[in-house]
Amino acid sequence: MMIKVAVAGPRGRMGKEAVASILKHNDFELVSVLDHRKEEAFIENDIPVFTSLTELIYQTAPDVLVDLTVPAAVYEHAIIALDNGVRPVIGTTGFTDLQLEEMRKKVEEKKIGCIIAPNFSIGAVLMMKFSQMAAKYLPDVEIIEMHHDQKIDAPSGTAIKTAQLINEVRPPFEQGHEVEEEILAGARGANVSGMHIHSVRLPGLVAHQQVLLGGEGQLLTLRHDSFTRTSFMSGIVLSITEIMKQDTLIYGLEDIIL
């Protein structure tokens, strides 16, 4: 069966790659794109461009909406899609816990699948899962995520998801010295249940993460690097195919690949 796909954010760094991958795929038809600036519209292959998601859905009836936009827009897109029977595949990061909870309720009510993947790269998903395995035995963890300097949200969705996975196996406790003091605010990074996340933003980087797990006389370092955005595309393709078979909220690609 041909899957009809729409892409939100087609001019973006991720959106451009996703459009190219969808156009190449034999089982997908790119039916439309959502771009909030129509004057800079995407015109490749005469794909219709919409500024309103409701209008896009009404006129082109996609099965799946791939969202690669910005944290401020993605939640509304996802809710409109679900309300209209369109399955969201979401790569945009920056969801709050409350929004995730609301999404979970909406998916339950509508009984159609939705994937929110903080990282579509298979290698990164394995790095997160291996970190969770290791944290059971080495619970002192620091996460260092590194991204290009055009990224809006910090810490990255991948770092937050990694911390959440580790939290499932690590009892919360404050790491570092008990009277530790920050001489400069922010020096110890973000604190998630006593575990610390550090965000680096530099031109030249794409998406990189190191998880450091320290123990007596030892250090385990798990590292993943996305050097180009093509590293995310196999995960997007897999998610589009897989979401057609699902009727729940999937948060993280590990639920469909492991």
List the one residue from 36, 102, 130, 169 that touches ligand NAP (CB under 6 A). Answer: 36
Nearest to ligand NAP of 19, 166 (CB atom): 19
Q: With binding defined as CB under 6 A, does residue 57 bind ligand NAP? A: no
Task: Please answer whether residues 110 and 144 qualify as being in contact, where contact means their C-beta atoms are separated by less than 8 angstroms.
Answer: no
Q: What CA–CA distance (Å, rounded) separates 21 from 177?
A: 49
Alpha-carbon distance values, 196 to 111, 173, 241 (Å):
37, 11, 36
Please name which of 221, 231, 256, 8 lies closest in space to residue 121, comparing C-alpha atoms. Answer: 231
| Smallest distance from ligand NAP to CB 167, Å | 20
List the one residue from 3, 120, 146, 243 that touches ligand NAP (CB under 6 A). Answer: 120
| Smallest distance from ligand NAP to CB 10, Å | 7
Tokens 């069966």: give the residue: 1
Nearest to ligand NAP of 14, 250 (CB atom): 14
Please name which of 171, 215, 213, 161 lies closest in space to residue 194, comparing C-alpha atoms. Answer: 171
Q: With binding defined as CB under 6 A, does residue 14 bind ligand NAP? A: yes
Residues 137-196 within binding reach of ligand NAP (CB under 6 A): 151
Query: Which residues are paired to 203 by β-bridges?
Result: none
Q: With binding defined as CB under 6 A, does residue 91 bind ligand NAP? A: yes
Q: What CA–CA distance (Å, rounded) separates 170 from 148?
A: 30
Q: What CA–CA distance (Å, rounded) separates 85 from 130?
A: 35
Is 224 part of the annotated catalytic residue set?
A: no
Nearest to ligand NAP of 117, 159 (CB atom): 117
Is 147 part of the annotated catalytic residue set?
A: yes
Q: Which residues bind ligand NAP (CB under 6 A)?
A: 8-9, 11-15, 34-37, 68-70, 73, 91-94, 117-121, 151, 207, 232
